[in-house]
Chain A
Amino acid sequence: MQWDWGAVADFMPHFWDGLLVTLQALALGSVISFVLGLVWALLMRAPSRFVRWPVGAVTEFIRNTPLLVQLFFLFYVLPEWNITFSALTTGVVAIGLHYSTYTMQVYRAGIEAVPVGQWEAATALNLPPRRTWTAVILPQAVRRVVPALGNYVIAMLKDTPMLMAITVLDMLGEARLFAQQNFQFTEPLTVIGVAFILISYLASVLLRALERRLVR
């Protein structure tokens, strides 16, 4: 096995470009999944089953089908309907949508974990439903679920390489491009592999620190 440090040095500029795209996709994907997941979770508590049932079915479907095929779907089908996004935007939307079906369950667990007494107190104080949610229930529920949401950010990080399949030049995309141009596969692929391990390890350390701060 021959290892060429020169190839590593040549790859590094591309690596930083790729890292930037990966982190962008991760940040935007997280925001979409956090917001949309909360929307799903609230819709699942709607009084009418004509809201609950379709939302449940759609999210179950998205959760149980591969993200890769969903990426292809959005990337190839949306232009047929005359909706054109850049590849990165499509990827961000797909990741955010896919993971919102996971975060939705996290929020649900958080909302259910708020003690019944809090609901009763809100009723006793004659708070309108809107204020019950925004001032009483959600602040307590969201605080509880931040660590679980963080786990899904790490999971999302590990799914960003899939964006390569729809021509986004994230870390894996850059590595593949470099490998094909220079016929050196070992170095770039190993560099990004190690980078992923380091980033997800750092992220989990940060998360544990955050968890200690919040759960007190």
Chain B
Amino acid sequence: MTSGLWELVLQGIWVTVQLLVLSALVATAVSFVVGVARTHRLWIVRFLAGFYTEVFRGTSALIMIFWVFFVLPPAFGWQLVPMWAGTLALGLTYGAYGAEIVRGALGAVDPAQREGGIALSFTPWQRMRLILLPQAVPEMIPPFSNLLVELLKGTALVSVMGMGDLAFSGNLVRLALQESAEIYTYILLIYFVIAFLLTRVMRGLERQLKAGVGKAPRKTGTPPRRAPEGADAVKVGGGA
């Protein structure tokens, strides 16, 4: 492979990383908003949040991408730049999976904690912000880490729309060289390395967050905690 082709691959990595970071931010925002809304006391809010998760988990990420690229523009008369269209489609889809994680982790917090908040006459919002979320967030990190790898794999889908991400640059190199084994092996390896780095970062984050709420692994003598529901209940694996 010539250096020009490697440059193409580097650009592809850059696009993939950008897309990954942006859609991860959107997905995180969506999952917290929708996940918290599913514990709301008004049934209509719970229903709408549940409807959102069912719809976006029900469709395939690739169909969402097609929809955002082809159906939204004529329907609303405006068109998104490919990067934002991809971010929106991936963020909304994976946000629905993330919402289930958030809901599961919130449900796994000891009920006595919530009752304590009520007894101290905290408002629902204070309870969520000061009591439930700080304890639930560390439990969310392992499933979120899996979801992040799924999201990374999902970013490859935008190459179908002609966005110049890593998978797309692989196709270009294949066309240039008329030879595919080498380049696709490199592309797969690069994805694997990115996924490996992501899981490492998330593991570090988990350790830090757990230490923040006094659940550091070195501390002994604390009673064993229940596993968060979200860890197993979430059906990750879709969409990528």
Contacts and interface: CB of A to CB of B under 8 A. Distances in A.
Interface residues of A, dominant DSSP: helix
Contact of A69 (B59, B167, B196): B167
Interface string A67-79: 1111011001100
Q: Among A64, A157, A161, A190, find the residue whose CB has the most chain B CB atoms closer than 10 A.
A: A64
A81 B75 CA distance: 46
A69 B62 contact: no
B227 interface: no
Contact of A196 (B60, B149, B153): B60
Interface in B150-181: 152-157, 159-160, 167, 170-171, 174, 179-181
Contacts of A152: 237
Given A65-B153, A186-B71, A189-B70, A196 B180 contact: no
A64 B153 CA distance: 7
Given A186-B74, A189-B67, A73 B180 contact: yes
Interface string A47-85: 000000000000001001111111011001100110000
Nearest to A158: B60
A152 B227 CA distance: 22
A162 B62 contact: yes
B181 A64 contact: no
A77 B239 contact: no
Contacts of B171: 72
B231 interface: no
Interface string A104-117: 00000000000000
Contacts of A1: 74-76
A76 B184 contact: yes
A161 B60 contact: yes
Instruction: Name the interface size band of chain B.
Output: 35 or more
Interface residues of A, number: 44
A70 B153 CA distance: 11
B238 A161 contact: no
Interface stretch (B108-116, B117-125, B187-195, B211-219): B187-195
Contact of A80 (B55, B156, B179, B238): B179
B191 A65 contact: yes
B7 interface: no
A65 B192 contact: yes
Contacts of B192: 61, 64-65
Interface string B48-91: 00000011011111111011001100111000000000000000
Contacts of B184: 69, 72-73, 76-77
Given A65-B195, A68-B159, A158-B61, A189 B71 contact: yes
A196 B239 CA distance: 12
Contacts of A157: 60
A11 interface: no
B138 to A, nearest CB: 23
Given A68-B153, A80-B180, A155-B235, 14 more contacts: A1-B76, A66-B157, A69-B167, A72-B184, A80-B181, A151-B237, A155-B239, A158-B60, A158-B239, A161-B63, A165-B160, A175-B66, A186-B70, A193-B64
Interface of B: 54-55, 57-64, 66-67, 70-71, 74-76, 149, 152-157, 159-160, 167, 170-171, 174, 179-181, 184-185, 187-188, 191-192, 195-196, 235-240
11 contacts: A66-B154, A66-B157, A69-B170, A69-B184, A70-B188, A72-B180, A73-B185, A152-B237, A158-B61, A189-B71, A201-B58
